[in-house]
Amino acid sequence: MADVLTFTDRGIYCPAGDFYIDPWRPVDRALITHGHSDHARPNMGRYLATIGTAPVMRHRLGEIDLQTTAYGQVMQIGDAAVSFHPAGHVPGSAQIRVAVKGEVWVVSGDYKTVADGLSEPFEPIACHAFITECTFGLPIFKWTPKDLLTTQINDWWAVNAAAGRTSILGAYALGKAQRLLATVDPEIGPILTHGAIEATNEVLRARGHPA
């Protein structure tokens, strides 16, 4: 049995379907896990992504040849059956499942197994091979639990507000910024966002997200 996916100098490639997943160099057909710029790059011939990812990609990449798909919908591409499944990373983010002659491989993209109240929750997919991103997998990364972090951020802001100081939080415009907006307590004071975040919020609001 040949490999369902292989690594090339352009990215992860599926010979049976003649497509790439999140390629980093221009290719004819790119399947995109989510809208972050290290996964959805410009200059691909054709793109395929989830309905939830499409508005962010159009916002960031402009006029592109983009086909969309719903979570769980199976598409035949050459000899490969392809479907996208929630990755829990940012709204619209997907793992991509590729099945060739009964052999199933899954590419995680960026993913998060803890629900964030914003992204579609991560869905475990049975497979023979799982290609995982592991950005923060090293044991040196230890994250503060969400509830404690929420308290810390709001306490810090409240103390600053009482002292007449403005509080500034930096966060990636897609994903982290919306999680922060859902975290900070609007009772403490007015909340303003940077223009890049507001532009992303506009795209998400149009999709029905409370950003």
Only one of the segments 21-29, 34-42, 155-163, 176-184 lies at the binding site for Zn ion (rule: CB under 5 A); that segment is 34-42
Residue ranges in the chain assigned as alpha helix (H) = 54-61, 146-162, 176-183, 195-206
Using the rule CB under 5 A, is 60 a contact of Zn ion?
A: no
Upper half-sphere CA count for residue 207 (Cβ side, 13 Å): 20
Report yes or no: 36 and 17 within 8 Å, Cβ to Cβ: no
3-class secondary-structure state, position 66: strand
Task: Tell me: does residue 110 bind Zn ion (CB under 5 A).
Answer: yes
Q: What are phi and psi of 50, to 5 degrees?
A: -70, 160
Q: Is the CB of 80 or the CB of 174 nearer to Zn ion? A: 174
Residue 36 sits in the site that holds Zn ion (CB under 5 A): yes
CB of 144 to Zn ion, least distance (A): 20
Among 47-55, 105-113, 136-144, 145-153, the segment contacting Zn ion (CB under 5 A): 105-113
- What does the angle CA 172 – CA 176 – CA 182 come to, to the nearest 5 degrees? 135
| By CB under 5 A, residue 120 contacts Zn ion | no
* Residue range at the interface with Zn ion (CB under 5 A); choices 32-40, 61-69, 80-88, 184-192: 32-40
Residues that bind Zn ion (CB under 5 A): 36, 110
